[in-house]
Structure 1
């Protein structure tokens, strides 16, 4: 089972924290979060999306001004 925590700035969602119990949930959960943030990125127009894996099963999907508009980058936190 997965859970998501929405962190917002003003009325727009800027990042989504996700935790997953099984590997099977990761793909669908991350796709859903990225799709949600695409809308916010289009409204912003100045940023792309960064997906960061913090540890097995723990991710953040966020708008990031260092990522070019229209792109999604993936990172693994050290």
Structure 2
């Protein structure tokens, strides 16, 4: 499960990412995995369940 996000202002990024992570907390609990937030490019992010992230953790990465 993943959520793709795009923001036009930096002000919207934190609230938008917080809301996306909050949306995935219950599915992450059910899947016993963590959440990975990936910055794809400025203003564009993916927030996803990720089995490589320990349960209860949220990691951040930047796409190369």
TM-score range, shorter chain: over 0.9
Instruction: Give me the CA root mean square deviation.
Output: 0.5
* Deviation, structure 1 residue 68: 0.4
Paired residues in the alignment total 64
Q: For structure 1, which runs of at least 5 residues remain unmatched after alignment?
A: 1-13
Structure 1 or 2: larger helix share?
2
TM-score of the pair, normalised by structure 2? 0.97
| Larger Rg belongs to | 1
Question: Which protein, 1 or 2, shows the higher relative CO under an 8 Å CA cutoff with sep ≥ 6?
Answer: 2
Dislocated runs of 4+, deviation >6 Å: none
TM-score of the pair, normalised by structure 1? 0.80
